Structure 1
Amino acid sequence: MTTRFPVYFVSHGGGPWPYVDSMKPMYAKTERGFSELPARLPAKPKAVLVISGHWEAEDFTVSTAEHPPMEYDYFGFPEHTYRIKYPAAGSPNLASRVKTLLADAGFKPRVDAERGFDHGTFVPLGLMYPEADVPVVMLSMKSSYDAEEHIRVGQALAPLRDEGVLIIGSGLTYHNMRGFRRPESTPIAEAFEAYLNKAISQADAKARNDMLVRWETAPHARLAHPREDHLLPLMVVAGAAASDVGQAVFIDHVMEVPMASYEFGAVSAAKVNATNF
């Protein structure tokens, strides 16, 4: 008997915050949430597939490195944060499987053997699996930012959930760099998150996906996301969720805005398919 893994959208926070002592207190709830997330899974995953808001390409692109390097895609942080290492292995086998699933669904995925772990990847995974003992593959967003297309990508990837693979979309429910730390941003971010929460909690998957495709009709949508790079990972996760209803697994409040993380398909402890990646 197999057990389907849940899928997650996580709000990963700002830069390499777990590695900066002055930032950690403000992210205490997020740190606890990420650290406790593995206990919500049916088993230790064979591998993790991450769609990060920090990687977009002309076409959907899969990382194939056996030993991915690091991507220090942030500015103005302490010098030691540019020497962080998260030495998780890649998984060429999982990368090949992802590529096949996407191709079979009519996409034309590319591969990238050089892509490394950006902070949307190593921040949550460094807290979830600090021993870096779970292989990690990354999938880019497509720079056209077509929400419906990203949902269809997630739908193509759904079989991985029955193969012991944890799918994580990593972004933020609010991502306006000019709005952080401003009290006037609080009601804006809360109203937009309320729309997202209503969408993901729809019992009907089509209704949920329609709401997500129409995200720009949400209150203050473009104030919450001037660019949707940190929102699109949620679309992929929603597609992979299939008929599973979502819920907010935790919501932190940082820099005057809520940062929500969502779970679809909560399960109890059970065995999963022994497919090896």
Structure 2
Amino acid sequence: MSLPAYFFAHGAPSLVLEDHGYTRFLKDFAQTLPRRPKGIVIFSAHWEAPVQQVCLVDTYDTIHDFYGFPEEMYQMTYPAPGDAALSGKVAALLTDAGITSERDTERGLDHGAWAVLKLLFPEADIPVVAMSVNRALSNGQQYEIGKALGELRKQDVLIIGSGGIVHNLRQIHWNAGPDHVEAWPREFDAWIARRLENWNTDELFRYRELAPFAAQSVPTSEHFIPLLLAMGAGDAGRKARRLHQSYQWGTLSLSAWEFQ
């Protein structure tokens, strides 16, 4: 049985310090896997590049790409090892699918990657291949990148997209309590969920014109793209299951999806 692919919302960088239902879900997640992954391929919304980047490093530096957070955040590290062989497999699969890629031998893990991984696998002892996203591509092209890597799931490689389905920082209400959630993010999330569960890619790829509150929920697409990449990696089975849904600060969606 292949490992599923996953999409995880990474929320704010402070996610690693927070204690609520979503962080507890992430901390318990590894126990739900059928076996320990041999490697992780992770796409982060916070690494954008015009050509698909595939990391090839010995050990990752930790990028603190945020400001105004508690000092503890800037002392955190996630020195995950790289994996040259896995990086090579990723590049080869992309080439076979007609997708151009480049090796990056310097970049560390940004908070879109390490903040999630630190909760999922706190020991930082599973090899990681970090991947970029490109918002200039069509939604169908995003899906095809994920699909090209789906074969890795048979080799016990965990494919993760890290972003956010509803992610509009201008619409966040920092003083909102955990029980206050506006209606529009719920409506958009529900629309997306139905398309994922029915594997309706035709409508999903057209979410900007079809979904309610799409422009408000996805003002720019870099946080939505990892969902499509993770879904594409599940193309062989085409089974989507929502594992968690909650909200922060009135509008920020914290969701987790599994693609078998």
TM-score by length of 2: 0.93
Q: 1:16 aligns to what SS in structure 2?
A: helix
Q: Distance in 2 between matches of 1:185 and 1:106?
A: 43
- Whole-angstrom distance in 1 between the partners of 2:44 and 2:224: 10
Whole-Å separation in 2 of the counterparts to 1:231 and 1:160? 22
Which of 263, 267, 273 pairs up with 2:258? 263
Q: Deviations over 1:117-145 (max 9, x none)?
A: 11111112111111111111111112414
Q: 1:199 maps to which residue?
A: 195
Query: For 2:192 and 2:219, how far apart are their aligned partners in 1?
Result: 16
Partner of 1:95: 87
Gaps of 5+ in 1: 266-277
Structure-2 residue corresponding to 1:222:
215
CA distance in 2, matches of 1:16, 1:64: 27
1:40 aligns with 2:32: yes
Q: After the TM superposition, which of the residue ranges 253-262 and 101-110 deviates more from structure 2?
A: 253-262
- Structure 1's consecutive aligned runs of 4 or more residues displaced over 6 angstroms after TM superposition are 182-185
The answer as to whether partners of 2:134 and 2:222 remain within 8 angstroms in 1 is no
Q: CA deviation at 1:79?
A: 2.6
Percent pairwise identity: 32
Distance 1:4 1:110 in 2: 27
Answering whether residue 201 of structure 2 is matched by residue 209 of structure 1, we say yes
2:61 matches 1:50: no
Q: Deviations over 1:230-259 (max 9, x none)?
A: 000011111111133111101122111342
Question: Aligned partners of 2:171 and 2:2: how far apart in 1?
Answer: 38
CA-based RMSD of the aligned residues comes to 1.5
Is contact 1:10-1:261 (8 Å) kept? yes
Kindly state the Cα deviation for residue 55 of structure 1 after the two structures are TM-superposed: 0.8
Question: Does the 8 Å contact 1:145/1:228 carry over to 2?
Answer: no
Is 1:190 equivalent to 2:186 in the alignment?
Answer: yes
Deviation at 1:115, TM superposition (A): 1.2
1:253 match: 247
Structure 2 residue 227 is the aligned partner of structure 1 residue 231: no
**Could you list the runs of 5+ residues in structure 2 that have no partner in the other structure?**
none
CA contact (8 A) 1:141 1:232 kept: yes
Contact kept, 8 Å, 1:179 with 1:185, in 2: the verdict is no
Partners of 1:11 and 1:29 in 2: CA distance? 13
Query: SS at the partner of 2:170?
Result: coil
What is the CA–CA distance in structure 2 between the aligned matches of 1:41 and 1:142, rounded to whole Å? Answer: 29
Question: Could you tell me whether the CA contact under 8 Å between 2:5 and 2:233 is conserved in 1?
Answer: yes
Q: Give the 3-state SS of the residue equivalent to 1:238 in structure 2.
A: helix
| Count of matched residue positions in the alignment of Structure 1 and Structure 2 | 253
Q: Aligned equivalents of 1:85 and 1:249: distance in 2?
A: 27
Q: 1:115: which partner in 2?
A: 107
The residue aligned with 2:6 is: 8
TM-score (norm 1): 0.87
